[in-house]
Chains A and B, each alone.
Chain A
Amino acid sequence: MNDKKILGFFENGQREKAFKELYTLYPRIEKLILSKGGQKQDALDVFQEALIVLYKNLLKSDFKLSSSFYTYLHSVSRFIWSDIQKKNKKTNYETLHHEESFQEYLDERKYQFAEKSFSELGERCKQLLLLFYHQKMSFKNIAKAMQFSSDKVAKNQKYKCLAKAKANFNAIQS
């Protein structure tokens, strides 16, 4: 349960294990969010986002974790929650400038729309795109896995899915 162990998991690519261990820090952060006017679901969402931010930062080679995972997550969560509250106009804009600004989070906000448009795709599209972008499979292998007649068919399908995602994205924006 210590930070070193968790770091080790990340380095070995055992992300799920790392996140599971990080969840042991969740109760205290839940308390924090609840004390700042949030509900349990808010706390869960905030923590989830904080984990994503943490992970994205860890990927960066220039990132150094100066404090414990807990302290970091705590700060990130606080920041995220303030930001959400600001958006919902449910808070007095008090301490925002005191908070450490997490650029990563701000960047992530941009990607949230893209994520949403992706998640709204049908299962086949999602699978195809995941195989391409996440697994980085060649079109040939994708065609095999998804039973397309040829790699060209797979390619075409992929672009069709992308177009759909774009359509979703535009719908969300409007």
Chain B
Amino acid sequence: MKNHIQNIELVNQYLNNELNNSERESFTERLTEDNEFKNLFDEQSSFIEGVKRYVLKGEIKQAYRTYKLYKLLKILGVTLLVVSLIITFFSLIKKSSDTITIDKPTTEIFSTSSSNTVKKATLSEATIKSVDPIVKTIESNTDTPEQTSTSEVLIVPDNQKNTTEIEQLYSSLKKQPEVFQINTAKDTVITCKEGTLIKIKANSFIDSKTNQIIKGKFQLKVTEYYKLSDIIKANLTTLANDAILETGGMLYMEASQNTTICQLSSKNTLKIEFPYEQRKKNMKLFKGEKDHDLVNWKLINNKEITPKTELINGVLLTEEPIIDTLSYSFITSLNNPLKEKVIANDKFQEGLDLEIPSVKGPMKGLKILATDSLLVNSKYDNKKNRVSINKNDISHYIFSASKLGWINCDRFINSKKTKIKFKVKVGKGADIDVKMIFKNFKAVLPGKIENENYTFSKVPIDEPVLIYAIKFENGQYYIALQNTTISNKKSPLIFEKVSLPKLKEKINKLNSL
């Protein structure tokens, strides 16, 4: 045994080159002579190689593990990068669909407006269909021209049903239009009673029959519907197919010269400015079209106007008022000293100190604004004194329209709440009108009759509303005004008798909702 051990030691020494030359020689000789010794030698060598393999395998396995780890980390890194890119991408898209909020005004005045695109969420624009002129030939009863001319769009056309008492009531309550005399020779800007501005270019109207540009003076009749009471009395609603619209104002326009109906020529548009006290985003222009018995609003224009700007002598000048950004607008006159007006968006910036550059003399080649730019935030007179803001200095949504008739400035209510069908129990009665008035935004929906209920389809649940209903029965008017929240419960209406003047009063009171 000891010999064996010694031999093994010897072999190891040999393999480790620990033997001197003579020892090594005798070793190799012994190998050739002693078979047993040789076997031992081979065994040991193999064993040692086996151990080496074992060690090597261990290292290889470790290397494999490291390799796999690196691979995993690489994949994780790439995935993380892709995910973060997607997130960034989506958040950018979301941002660009909101309107730009105003920056600190001071020194950035001149630069902001140069990149002043008002970004709005763009839907594909509905092309204006060439419809029959909405303004029909004026019928005999010219003292209430708005009635007949809106016969296409009002709820009850004469040839379909006998007008009910309520329909007649609405007809009688309808607002009278404002009549303006326009001279075709000049560009005109008209300001309506409730603040709507309409800008008309010279020679932009044609005779609807002959298609010739009309000359001289003509009449433009405009009816404004901003107040809820006006909307209700005109039996209007804010529905676009089955989407609820929040209205920023409705307008009805018609033009005539003596007895001929006039239209806008195809090359021209009107610039309409709807006033607002609180600016809302995503306002779009809608056209009113008759859809069975109801006025349906159709999207015709989805872009608010962004006026052109020009930087002259370090001062920004605009052709039109700009929405959403701070800039200057110059009104000049050869005789009067320079007046400046500062335009900003709806956030009234109190304590705005602006350095107004001094401009001398008349400014050649500038377009002159015919009247105030109504997007006014603060006013300065020529001595750089801040003038107090007038109640009339409110902001407007600006759109251009290519046709007269019914024009609305609305926006879609994209409520995230679940939409349900809301039912109102009315009981029997032939002559009833039921409408849903929303409390949180200006919208009115028509009710649809289904057996003894009036229904409102696709309305957002939990939304606070006022159910308005008027009834005419046995020569008596009844009104019901029910505050409620949209839910799956059917809402019963409680009518009370009213006299006609009281009814009118109650409708007018709706404005103070």
| Contact A52–B56 (Cβ < 8 Å) | yes
Contact partner of B63 among A19, A114, A130, CB < 8 A? A19
- Report how far A130 CA is from B43 CA in the complex, Å: 17
Query: How far apart are A137's CB and chain B's nearest CB, in angstroms?
Result: 12
Set of chain B residues within 8 Å of A15, measured between Cβ atoms: 56, 59, 63
What 1/0 mask marks residues of chain A from 42 to 64 whose CB sits below 8 Å from any chain B CB? 00100010011001000000000
Decide if the interface of chain B is mainly helix, strand, loop or mixed: helix
Query: How far apart are A114's CB and chain B's nearest CB, in angstroms?
Result: 3
Most A C-beta atoms less than 10 A away, residue of B5, B54, B66: B54
Contact partner of A115 among B8, B43, B50, B61, CB < 8 A? B50
A2 contacts the other chain (Cβ, under 8 Å)? no
- Report how far A23 CA is from B59 CA in the complex, Å: 12
A20 contacts the other chain (Cβ, under 8 Å)? yes
**Residues 40-65 of B contacting A (Cβ, < 8 Å):** 43, 46-57, 59-64
**Residues 20-76 of A contacting B (Cβ, < 8 Å):** 20, 22-24, 26, 44, 48, 51-52, 55
A77 contacts the other chain (Cβ, under 8 Å)? no
B67 contacts the other chain (Cβ, under 8 Å)? yes
Set of chain B residues within 8 Å of A48, measured between Cβ atoms: 57, 60-61, 64
| Contact B16–A114 (Cβ < 8 Å) | no
**Residues 18-57 of B contacting A (Cβ, < 8 Å):** 43, 46-57
Query: How far apart are B164's CB and chain A's nearest CB, in angstroms?
Result: 82
**Sample (16) of A-B pairs whose CB atoms are under 8 Å apart:** A15-B63, A16-B62, A16-B66, A17-B63, A19-B60, A23-B64, A48-B64, A111-B53, A113-B46, A114-B46, A115-B53, A119-B54, A133-B48, A134-B52, A136-B16, A159-B8
Set of chain B residues within 8 Å of A159, measured between Cβ atoms: 4-5, 8
Query: How far apart are B42's CB and chain A's nearest CB, in angstroms?
Result: 9
What 1/0 mask marks residues of chain B from 382 to 418 whose CB sits below 8 Å from any chain A CB? 0000000000000000000000000000000000000
Set of chain B residues within 8 Å of A110, measured between Cβ atoms: 46, 49
- Report how far A130 CA is from B4 CA in the complex, Å: 21
Most A C-beta atoms less than 10 A away, residue of B16, B43, B46, B57: B46
The interface of chain A, by Cβ under 8 A from chain B, is 15-20, 22-24, 26, 44, 48, 51-52, 55, 108, 110-119, 129-130, 133-134, 136, 155, 159, 162, 165-166
Q: Which residue of A lies closest to B68 (CB)?
A: A23
Set of chain B residues within 8 Å of A19, measured between Cβ atoms: 59-60, 63-64
Set of chain A residues within 8 Å of B60, measured between Cβ atoms: 19, 48, 51-52
Q: With A16-B66, A23-B67 known to touch, is A162 a contact of B56 (CB < 8 Å)?
A: no
| Contact B47–A162 (Cβ < 8 Å) | yes
Query: How far apart are A161's CB and chain B's nearest CB, in angstroms?
Result: 11
- Report how far A162 CA is from B61 CA in the complex, Å: 25
Decide if the interface of chain A is mainly helix, strand, loop or mixed: helix
Chain B contact residue count (CB 8 A cutoff): 26
| Contact A118–B5 (Cβ < 8 Å) | no
- Report how far A130 CA is from B61 CA in the complex, Å: 17
Known: A110-B46, A114-B47, A114-B49. 7 other contacts (CB 8 A): A15-B63, A22-B63, A111-B52, A114-B51, A114-B53, A115-B49, A136-B16
Set of chain A residues within 8 Å of B61, measured between Cβ atoms: 48
| Contact B57–A52 (Cβ < 8 Å) | yes
| Contact A111–B50 (Cβ < 8 Å) | yes
- Report how far A26 CA is from B70 CA in the complex, Å: 14
Q: Which residue of B lies closest to A107 (CB)?
A: B49
Set of chain A residues within 8 Å of B67, measured between Cβ atoms: 20, 23-24, 26
Q: With A52-B57, A52-B60 known to touch, is A111 a contact of B46 (CB < 8 Å)?
A: yes
Contact partner of A55 among B4, B50, B56, CB < 8 A? B56
- Report how far A15 CA is from B66 CA in the complex, Å: 13
Query: How far apart are A10's CB and chain B's nearest CB, in angstroms?
Result: 12
Query: How far apart are B153's CB and chain A's nearest CB, in angstroms?
Result: 71
- Report how far A112 CA is from B70 CA in the complex, Å: 30
Query: How far apart are B72's CB and chain A's nearest CB, in angstroms?
Result: 13
| Contact A16–B63 (Cβ < 8 Å) | yes
Set of chain B residues within 8 Å of A22, measured between Cβ atoms: 63
Most B C-beta atoms less than 10 A away, residue of A23, A117, A119, A155: A23
| Contact A166–B53 (Cβ < 8 Å) | no
| Contact B43–A166 (Cβ < 8 Å) | yes
Query: How far apart are B75's CB and chain A's nearest CB, in angstroms?
Result: 14
- Report how far A23 CA is from B66 CA in the complex, Å: 10
